[in-house]
Structure 1
Amino acid sequence: MAQDYPIGTPGEKWDDTNKQQWLAQQEKQRDYANDVIRRIDHLREQFDVETYGELIYDDKTFPLFVVRSRNWRVNNPTVLVTGGVHGYETSGVHGALYFLETEAVNHLSRFNILVAPCISPWGYETINRWNPDAVDPNRSFVSDSRAQECELIMTYLDKHQINPDVHIDLHETTDTDNSEFRPAKAARDGTTNTNWNIPDGFYLVADKQRSEPGFQRAIIETVKPVTHIAPADDEGCLIGAPMVQEGVIEYEAKPLGLCMGMTDARFVTTTEVYPDSANTNSVECVDAQVAAVRGALEYAAKEL
């Protein structure tokens, strides 16, 4: 169903005035310092915590953190977990933190672990997909990125020569994709929006160039006892992409500028939780994210 958006002129791309109109409508709805930084501080006894940059938007400064294994071993494979690339996707942020608080210790002997729990803190506070410049970070992991959120984490990885073997990027698909974000994107780009069917359940987006079907299947099987897996729609698709196996679709990660395409990790995936389902709740969504990371590491440990 096409949907009009209250900013801009249909068929015309937004100019700077339109973007400022959009930005003026965004309000803080939750607190990054209380929800995220406070929990990161509690991890300092067991992990190294580093600030890899800061975002400055108007009068607000957001420090950006990575949490990493204290005893980094050169010969161990490295796993990267990213959350909050889309700040509004709550279980991605809290799933990354809860993984550190509960599950990560079980894998420290086998892996170097690096977690960036909240790449887009302004988006987290305003419950937004974009950054204040109306740029989608998860389409901006490219060499000439227009998103500071992406440039800073990519610079950190490059500076420290961190080349992950495993990368799990934690996301959600929500009802607001259809009610707000897809209509806003169409308005911004001067195109016509057609909403998609939102899958009811957990699914994965694999990189078509590094699909690793066994890896994706292992994650799905680990998540199944925690929450339900999304069925395909009547056309055998999830969000318009063909389902290549139960709960798995594929995208071209690097050409699209997706977060999961920013490294050359052999094992890579993007998780998608549906928190608006009548068959789940916020706790289960976070648990599903942690289960996904666990399934990924258990599989990779046998292969690396």
Structure 2
Amino acid sequence: MESSMQQAHTYPIGTPGQKWTEKEVLEWRDSRKILRSYQQEVVSKMEEVGEDFERIQYGELGYPSGPYPLFGFKSKAWDQSKPTVLVTGGVHGYETSGVQGALLFLKETASQYLEHFNLVVAPCVSPWGYEIINRWNPDAIDPNRSFVANSLAPESALVMQFVGDMGVEIFAHIDLHETTNSDEEEFRPALAARDGLEYFEGSIPDGFYTVGDTENPCEEMQTAIIASVEKVTHIAPADPDGTIIGSQVVQHGVINYPLEKLGLCAGFSKAKYTTTTEVYPDSAKATAEECNRAQVAAITGMLDFLKAL
């Protein structure tokens, strides 16, 4: 009874122990509010991206509060002899520095790497999530568990199609994320409630870390990314049990997940080199600008490593 009461208290929608039906999903969706503007904070900044990049609208989400056009950028001077690197941000729309960091990279830094790489950047995969500052899409589906065949999340399906239609092999893929206090305050309790499970409180690491692929960990590249980011912000220490968010720390600031098996964004491209970044925006030791710059440092750390191969 205590755990049921805890869950009922923790999340206000649904019946403890019972999966949500369409009724609860609708109740959840109706409780969301627009908190910021995708058009003003994201699309308008795309005008600042230089002429080295072509902006492509690869789809549109026809949600009632939209429509939300989806944009990607690719190198104009495409060279089939160069490796192609993919950068994705805003798969979880509430993870602000993933979106703003991708835009900052495009604006300030990306052109410096065009001598070595073709670049493809999708700065905000989930604009509805950006506006309501939430992890899910309107159907209470997590886009970052939906990078699978016949995906039920249009956010995931459309960016996969955008990349697939290019018909090129992706050499490296970096997916920009955050781990926030709201993960424990809102999103993990909501997930437990949605799935009819008991919620067990976890911990939030204070600092930056990366998530490599269990099947293809790219250890040296992760080391290079951490070293680059460390010049901008602090790296998350392991918990006393040697883990970060419950996963074993395999080197300073690095854990691994089976990316493709879990339907995570960094796994869909089947790139030779993959990583997911995790910035901690709620830290007393980091500003929003530092979080954005940490994402840029992660991208450049990866590219500098690949350039030197």
Report if TM-score (shorter chain) is over 0.5: yes
The residue identity in structure 2 corresponding to 1:74 is Q
2:247 equivalent to 1:237: no
Shift in Å, 1:40: 1.1
Q: How many angstroms apart in 1 are the aligned matches of 2:290 and 2:230?
A: 11
Name which of 80, 84, 87 aligns with 1:78.
Answer: 84
Cα RMSD (Å) of the superposition? 1.1
Q: In the alignment, which residue of structure 2 is the partner of 1:119? A: 125
Q: In the alignment, which residue of structure 2 is the partner of 1:286? A: 292
2:216 equivalent to 1:210: yes
**What SS does the corresponding residue of 2:105 show, helix, strand or coil?**
helix
Q: In the alignment, which residue of structure 1 is the partner of 2:40? A: 34
Q: In the alignment, which residue of structure 1 is the partner of 2:301? A: 295
2:227 equivalent to 1:254: no
Name which of 14, 21, 27 aligns with 2:27.
Answer: 21
Could you tell me whether the CA contact under 8 Å between 1:157 and 1:163 is conserved in 2? no
User: Gaps (5+ residues) in structure 2?
Assistant: none
2:210 equivalent to 1:227: no
Name which of 194, 200, 216 aligns with 1:194.
Answer: 200
Q: How high is the TM-score relative to the length of structure 2?
A: 0.96
The residue identity in structure 2 corresponding to 1:85 is V
Could you tell me whether the CA contact under 8 Å between 1:13 and 1:190 is conserved in 2? yes
Q: How many residues are treated as equivalent by the alignment?
A: 303
Shift in Å, 1:150: 0.5
The residue identity in structure 1 corresponding to 2:263 is G
2:146 equivalent to 1:140: yes
The residue identity in structure 2 corresponding to 1:17 is K
Instruction: Report Cα offsets for 1:263-285 as digits up to 9, x if no partner.
Output: 11111100000010111110100
Instruction: Report Cα offsets for 1:220-268 as digits up to 9, x if no partner.
Output: 0011110000000010000000000000000000010000011111111
Q: How many angstroms apart in 1 are the aligned matches of 2:137 and 2:169?
A: 26
The percentage of counterpart residues that share the same residue type is 51
Shift in Å, 1:162: 2.9
**What SS does the corresponding residue of 2:260 show, helix, strand or coil?**
helix
Q: How many angstroms apart in 1 are the aligned matches of 2:216 and 2:108?
A: 29
Q: In the alignment, which residue of structure 1 is the partner of 2:155? A: 149
Q: How many angstroms apart in 2 are the aligned matches of 1:195 and 1:73?
A: 49
Could you tell me whether the CA contact under 8 Å between 2:50 and 2:107 is conserved in 1? no
Could you tell me whether the CA contact under 8 Å between 1:206 and 1:251 is conserved in 2? yes
Name which of 51, 54, 60 aligns with 1:45.
Answer: 51
The residue identity in structure 2 corresponding to 1:166 is A
Could you tell me whether the CA contact under 8 Å between 2:52 and 2:77 is conserved in 1? no
User: Gaps (5+ residues) in structure 1?
Assistant: none
